Structure 1
Amino acid sequence: MSLVIDLRCLQDPAYRERGIGNHARNLIRHAPPGWVGVYDPALPALPEAVAAQAGRLSPHGYVPGATLFLNPSPFTPNQEFCARLLTDARVRKAVCVYDFIPFDEPGRYLRTAGARLDYYAALAWLRQYDLYFPISVPTEARLRELFGAVESVVTGVGLPPFLQALSPAVPRHVLMVGGDDPRKNPELLLRAMASRLRLSEVELVITGGYDEATAARLRAIRPVALPGRVSDATLAQLYAGALVVVTPSRAEGFSMPVVEACRVGVPSLASDIPAHRALLPTRFLFGPDDVEGLAALLEETLRAREAAIAAQAGLAAPFAEDAVAATLFAALPAPVPPTSRRPRIALLSPLPPTRSGVADHSAALLAALRKLAQVDAFCGPYSRLAVQDGAYDAVLCVLGNAPLHDEIYQLCLRYGAACLCHDARLLGLATTNGLAPAAVLASEELGRVVSEDEIAAWAADERQREASFLGRLARAARPLIFHAPQPVRLCQERFDVQAQALPFPMMRSHAPVTPEEREAARAGLGIGPAEQLIVSFGFLVPAKAIGAALAAFAELKRERPAARLVFVGEVAMDLAALRDEAASLGVTLGTGFVTPADYRAWAAAADAGLQLRIGQAGGVSAALQDGIGAGLNMVASRDLAETINAPDYVLRVADMPDPAEIAGALARALAAPGPDEVMRAAYCAAHDMQAYAVRLLEMIL
């Protein structure tokens, strides 16, 4: 059993204390070890004691391997947060049910459109569960009136630990454990105690968060101590000093004060409603509007207090916390038996005609994955419904380091997914909405304040960059997959997250370039017979070290005047400062977008290739692999070549560009014979996209 428990009710101040919070805390104290706790990073932090009990925590409902989901609070706002678990047929769903009071009294509790939408949406999600744990027989009866013959087990609510050892005190006051909800009905108790002389002389304490106007109205009926919301320790003292505990509520699913009083040996009186009839003998009940009946019952109980205590002595026994938890966990449904079928995958990624290397890679990946699984591709605008749909065995978000990927990134952070990250850093993506959000991410990662000026400096020269901007993604992705080992190590060291590495595949299949194809390509592109063509593929961006490439080419040109350099691709940077130099050298700074056929033609026509990359370790290059596949002698930055396991006919140069070194390497590449066909074919086979898809599918399922 792989158990997941929704802990968000313990983040919400409206739920985490008393009632629902008490029940949830009791259950997790007794949960089988190793369970996964779901929390929402957008809510207040989980109490440390709660977080420490989970085997691990998940910031969303994407929990691979889950077989059982337990929700202790189905009406906590935003139930769609766990939609993936609730719509996954492989996950059995169990839920605690407290009451349907808002449904039965919409005029009081569902006055606004927002409140109605939240409640009825939660009510609809409630139908997704397989097993229901109502906290009382009346709640079970109402559940079946609304939902039909559902499978259910009544659990009761466990008594909180603070009751186990009360300090002795002299009983002196009547106690009501109330709240600011009008259904708690404190006015009845006040009027009853004001109606009899003896009762009017007894101290009365009513806890709960009453505003000033309500407190004044209550005190106008008779004197009363209103200490507000109290801690467990204070409540224990109030119980210890109570003559009797009165619970005059008009509606409850269960009533903790009723059984808490019985547990600590204080007489318990309660209104005659279904929840209380399930807990107390009839002689200790009074009508919710019966002032005289309550007054008489109070006087009688105070006269025969010891007899009342004796009559109620065993009533709290079924609600020992371990007994309640044992009832629930013993009844949890068995996991769904595994089935044999093709897995269903949701793939979120840009795809052609979007002009992006990631889009091209994902198109090739999609074709390979569809041989192995049923894959639905979502290429924008992106909907959270794809990420939340439990009908998919896995959701794969594909990310690159550009604003193009921001929608996918945000969905992955909020709702979780497997993530294939093409970059070892996400500075470009992090600055999608300006420098300030990126500065926040960098500050979180580095543990110091990072200014917007620093972010701007890093964007101008990534060699200065200190942050990877991977932290939030590392915590959200299940799993996070890179194409290089460097970001995997970084995630472990900085974020304590075990990411995975999957070597980069070849996006295109490459047949050997024949002499005839080469001759036709050169003629078509206007390359003279004596020219020695050097190509560099991909978007022109600052990280491609264009300036260093021009300086190297100028040095090469002195020895090889027939050399020609063409940057094949679209311009994505300001080249104003480089255009004059490029023109003087006859260098083409960008051809614009090229079709796959033209891309192949440039590779076939070339005599050598050049792929530089400045920045930090862990980058990959499909363009470098295309040159390898075309059988070109290549010159490449060392880290780039090593990350993709480039063969020996790729000449490595320093990651910090040295024009003289680059010029020398280009000269050797131009002078050397073409690479051995066996070596070229072996590299292509080892980096086959279909084999990559098989390994990727194993990682995400």
Structure 2
Amino acid sequence: MSLVIDLRCLQDPNYRTRGIGAQARALARHAPAPFTGLIDPSLPPLSPEDATLPAALSPHAYVPGATRFLNPSPMGPNQTFLARLLTTPGLTKAACVHDFIPLDAPETYLRDGTTRLDYFTALAWLKRYDLLLPNSAPTEARVRQIFGSVPSRVTGVALPPWIQTVSRAAPKHFLMLGGDDPRKNPESLIRAWAAHPRLRAHPLIITGSSAAPSALHLPYPLLLPGHVPNLAPLFAQAIALITPSSVEGFSMPVAEAIATGIPAIASDIPAHRAQLPPAHLFPPQDTQALTTLLLRALDDPAALIAPRARDFSAPAVAARAFGGLTPKPRAARRPRLALITPLPPTPSGIADHSAALIRALAPHAEITSFSPQTLTPLPFIAGRFDATLAILGNAPLHAKTHAFATRFGAAVLCHDSRLLGLFAGQSLAAAAQAASQELNRLVPEAEILDWSANETTRQASFLGPLARTARPLIFHTPHSVAEMQTRFRITAHHLPFALQRDLTLTPKPQARAALGVGGQKLIISCGFLNRAKAVPLALEAFARLRQTLDARLVFVGQAEEDFTPIAQVLGILPHVTLGTGYSAETTYQLWLSAADCALQLRAGPPGNISGALQDCINAGLPSVATADLADNLAAPPYVIRVGQHPAEISAALATLLTAPPETSQARTAYAATHSMASYASSLLSLLGLA
């Protein structure tokens, strides 16, 4: 769907039931193609009827593939919400222009700083549109006074559906469609009507939420019914429809009167002069002239029935609005990609992976990288980027990236199947709120603490905000893609994990000598040292192995928890290194060269990947791994898949250490199908940039 329509005015109580909302609804109903509707999650939801208008909804202005954009209400609040679309050079942008009444009467409509800031910000954004769609010739003239010669097309305003149901009956009352705006000028009509006994013999009905306070005390048949959902019965018996406004952009009541054949009387202002002959008009404050016209409506109603000059049916107005909204030719250039990710020297596996990814993407796209630590909204709202990709992991480091991505929208590549660490690292309250929303039950903060201590009990994925906002959402495991469909009813995408290192392996004797490793069998486990890596389980399995085999276990990486007490209880502390610290690349590759086998485990529900396990695969290092990790990486046969049982893990390690498999052929085949170049190409396709 390349067409996007801003539907926020249908959420806003100040607009959705008024003329602006009615126009937006009519245009949406008669859009020439299925479209994406923009909504703001902070506003009330669309009505059930309005929610059926778009083929899809977007909670932000990041809409991949958009080529045309229509804004039915460009002067409403928070136009910066649309920054991404309005700054995209290859997107055709059109805006309906209703009037500039606040600009012309700031003392009435722009009396506080917030309102002024919103209005003048919207006025500035209006310059970003390729085509302005004024609702009348006078509004178009005002557009040119303010902006000069700009592309524009007068559309008119769509008549409401109930117009077709009006069937004229014996006239009984005078009618005005009022409102809560003082420019509607009901006082002049009330004075003119009350000035003559023949007029007072017929009720005056003023709909809407306001009328002159003094009118409430008149001893005449003045009726103030408030909001009237169906105006057809009132139109059917109207002697005349009077529109005494002091200023309008386009007068819908006048258009409705003309369409239904009702005598029309209106104030002499530019909008009404564009719709009615002079004989129908009176100066806005001249009650005597208005009284004369009201009497004429009684004596010679046919003289005040205006001919229909233009088709204001909804299909005709929509055709004029969308007729100039044609896609622009796409410029022939390399795509521009904003990439939000940690990069080295940040101690992060995602940083290493992203560095390799950027190298693979560089020949095909212009890459601008942004650090999570100093992130601003710029890469999310700047239309100069053809796509914005936020790369996320399960750590507080990614909290700001997550916040901006879910607020402003982005493509998201999520390295993890859960974001408990990201949420809990911000606050327990935020984590509990996210889990409660996902599980549709109250999740107390104490339960978050329990999940953090033992992820095997975790029930929430904390991926709900991404499911609602990411365009697209990409994972490295089929499990996560399936969970998105099952739990959130959204389609995510699977991108198999890629090899991120060009390894230069050192002969084992030299590597061991460089690391100071003795002659015993060497098992390594790489990555951050924490409970999510099932370290207690690994230590228990190693303790069993030590009963029959002389071996050493080295955790290559930075310790985030202290597991010394467990190793002491198991009696293996002298044979275990509980963290080497974050290793330099050369040292890390020495460990891969020196080891006899690797052990990579995960605790918690399925859906995990391990860059460290893939490094071991790439090194041709026989490994024992949690079955979920191995399957998600499509690991070759020299990776033995295990469950969560110490005896099973110990037996698998013993097999690899006593009868090591030949790995070179399978290693070469794996490298060919998991290259970073292929990964980068697939990623560009998912982003719509290939």
Normalised by the length of structure 1, the TM-score is 0.93
String of CA shifts for 1:528-553, please: whole Å, max 9, x gaps: 2x222211111112111111111111
User: 2:654 & 2:660 partners in 1: Cα distance?
Assistant: 12
Which of 288, 292, 297 aligns to 1:292? It is 288
The answer to whether residue 262 in structure 2 is matched with residue 266 in structure 1 is yes
User: 1:22 & 1:670 partners in 2: Cα distance?
Assistant: 75
Which of 508, 511, 514 aligns to 2:501? It is 508
The answer to whether residue 482 in structure 2 is matched with residue 489 in structure 1 is yes
The answer to whether residue 239 in structure 2 is matched with residue 246 in structure 1 is no
The answer to whether residue 556 in structure 2 is matched with residue 568 in structure 1 is yes
Distance 1:476 1:419, change over 3 A: same
Moved more, 27-36 or 155-164: 27-36
Q: Which residue of structure 1 lines up, in the alignment, with residue 635 of structure 2?
A: 646
Which of 338, 346, 369 aligns to 1:354? It is 346
User: 1:454 & 1:34 partners in 2: Cα distance?
Assistant: 44
Distance 1:574 1:564, change over 3 A: closer
What SS does structure 1 have at the residue aligned with 2:472?
strand
Q: Which residue of structure 1 lines up, in the alignment, with residue 63 of structure 2?
A: 63
Q: Which residue of structure 2 lines up, in the alignment, with residue 162 of structure 1?
A: 162
What SS does structure 2 have at the residue aligned with 1:225?
strand
Aligned-partner residue type, residue 581 of structure 1: V
Deviation at 1:285, TM superposition (A): 0.6
User: 2:586 & 2:219 partners in 1: Cα distance?
Assistant: 91
String of CA shifts for 1:127-182, please: whole Å, max 9, x gaps: 11111111000000000111111111111111100121136655332222111111
String of CA shifts for 1:556-600, please: whole Å, max 9, x gaps: 11112x311111111223547525336743222222222112211
Matched ranges for 1:557-596 at <5 A:
557-560=546-549, 562-573=550-561, 575=563, 577-578=565-566, 580-581=568-569, 584-586=572-574, 587-596=576-585
Runs of 4 or more above 4 Å deviation: 167-170, 220-223
Distance 1:579 1:76, change over 3 A: farther
Matched ranges for 1:31-70 at <5 A:
31-70=31-70
The answer (yes or no) to whether the contact 1:61–1:85 under 8 Å persists in 2 is yes
Matched ranges for 1:188-203 at <5 A:
188-203=188-203
Moved more, 489-498 or 268-277: 489-498
User: 1:520 & 1:456 partners in 2: Cα distance?
Assistant: 46
Which of 625, 645, 663 aligns to 1:676? It is 663
The answer (yes or no) to whether the contact 1:402–1:428 under 8 Å persists in 2 is yes
The answer to whether residue 232 in structure 2 is matched with residue 219 in structure 1 is no
Aligned-partner residue type, residue 216 of structure 2: R
Deviation at 1:218, TM superposition (A): 4.1
Which of 679, 685, 689 aligns to 1:692? It is 679
Q: Which residue of structure 2 lines up, in the alignment, with residue 441 of structure 1?
A: 434
Which of 267, 282, 301 aligns to 2:278? It is 282
The answer (yes or no) to whether the contact 1:258–1:268 under 8 Å persists in 2 is yes
Q: Which residue of structure 1 lines up, in the alignment, with residue 228 of structure 2?
A: 230
Moved more, 192-201 or 607-616: 192-201
Deviation at 1:217, TM superposition (A): 4.1
User: 1:154 & 1:340 partners in 2: Cα distance?
Assistant: 33
Moved more, 215-224 or 391-400: 215-224
CA RMSD for the aligned pairs? Answer: 2.1
Which of 390, 415, 418 aligns to 2:408? It is 415
Q: Which residue of structure 2 lines up, in the alignment, with residue 606 of structure 1?
A: 595
User: 1:531 & 1:537 partners in 2: Cα distance?
Assistant: 19
User: 1:64 & 1:542 partners in 2: Cα distance?
Assistant: 39
Q: Which residue of structure 2 lines up, in the alignment, with residue 102 of structure 1?
A: 102
Q: Which residue of structure 2 lines up, in the alignment, with residue 302 of structure 1?
A: 298
The answer (yes or no) to whether the contact 1:67–1:92 under 8 Å persists in 2 is yes
The answer (yes or no) to whether the contact 1:6–1:37 under 8 Å persists in 2 is yes
Q: Which residue of structure 2 lines up, in the alignment, with residue 519 of structure 1?
A: 509
Aligned-partner residue type, residue 335 of structure 1: P
User: 1:203 & 1:571 partners in 2: Cα distance?
Assistant: 85
Aligned residues: 685
Deviation at 1:400, TM superposition (A): 0.9
User: 1:675 & 1:614 partners in 2: Cα distance?
Assistant: 29
The answer to whether residue 664 in structure 2 is matched with residue 664 in structure 1 is no
Specify every segment of 5 or more residues in structure 2 that has no aligned partner in the other structure, as ranges. none
What SS does structure 2 have at the residue aligned with 1:57?
strand
Q: Which residue of structure 1 lines up, in the alignment, with residue 74 of structure 2?
A: 74
The answer to whether residue 467 in structure 2 is matched with residue 480 in structure 1 is no
User: 1:239 & 1:383 partners in 2: Cα distance?
Assistant: 55
The answer to whether residue 524 in structure 2 is matched with residue 538 in structure 1 is no
Distance 1:161 1:209, change over 3 A: same
Deviation at 1:686, TM superposition (A): 2.3
What SS does structure 2 have at the residue aligned with 1:559?
coil
What SS does structure 2 have at the residue aligned with 1:119?
helix
User: 1:172 & 1:406 partners in 2: Cα distance?
Assistant: 66
User: 2:57 & 2:522 partners in 1: Cα distance?
Assistant: 55
Aligned-partner residue type, residue 224 of structure 2: L
Distance 1:144 1:317, change over 3 A: closer
User: 2:47 & 2:436 partners in 1: Cα distance?
Assistant: 24
Aligned-residue identity in percent: 53
Matched ranges for 1:364-375 at <5 A:
364-375=356-367
String of CA shifts for 1:104-149, please: whole Å, max 9, x gaps: 1222211122111111111111111111111000000000111111
Moved more, 146-155 or 666-675: 666-675
User: 1:648 & 1:95 partners in 2: Cα distance?
Assistant: 60
The answer (yes or no) to whether the contact 1:541–1:573 under 8 Å persists in 2 is yes
User: 1:172 & 1:136 partners in 2: Cα distance?
Assistant: 32
User: 1:245 & 1:451 partners in 2: Cα distance?
Assistant: 60
User: 2:276 & 2:147 partners in 1: Cα distance?
Assistant: 28
What SS does structure 2 have at the residue aligned with 1:609?
strand
User: 2:570 & 2:357 partners in 1: Cα distance?
Assistant: 37
String of CA shifts for 1:470-497, please: whole Å, max 9, x gaps: 2331231111111111111122223222
User: 1:170 & 1:653 partners in 2: Cα distance?
Assistant: 87
Deviation at 1:394, TM superposition (A): 0.9
Which of 625, 633, 636 aligns to 2:614? It is 625
Matched ranges for 1:448-467 at <5 A:
448-467=441-460
Deviation at 1:198, TM superposition (A): 2.9
User: 2:529 & 2:2 partners in 1: Cα distance?
Assistant: 48
Deviation at 1:432, TM superposition (A): 4.1
Deviation at 1:510, TM superposition (A): 1.4
Normalised by the length of structure 2, the TM-score is 0.95
The answer to whether residue 332 in structure 2 is matched with residue 343 in structure 1 is no
Which of 314, 319, 322 aligns to 1:321? It is 314
Distance 1:246 1:576, change over 3 A: farther
Deviation at 1:271, TM superposition (A): 0.7
Which of 421, 429, 435 aligns to 2:422? It is 429
The answer (yes or no) to whether the contact 1:582–1:588 under 8 Å persists in 2 is no
String of CA shifts for 1:396-429, please: whole Å, max 9, x gaps: 1111112221211122222221111101222222
Q: Which residue of structure 1 lines up, in the alignment, with residue 87 of structure 2?
A: 87
The answer (yes or no) to whether the contact 2:187–2:212 under 8 Å persists in 1 is no
Q: Which residue of structure 1 lines up, in the alignment, with residue 181 of structure 2?
A: 181
String of CA shifts for 1:7-38, please: whole Å, max 9, x gaps: 11111111111311111111111112322212
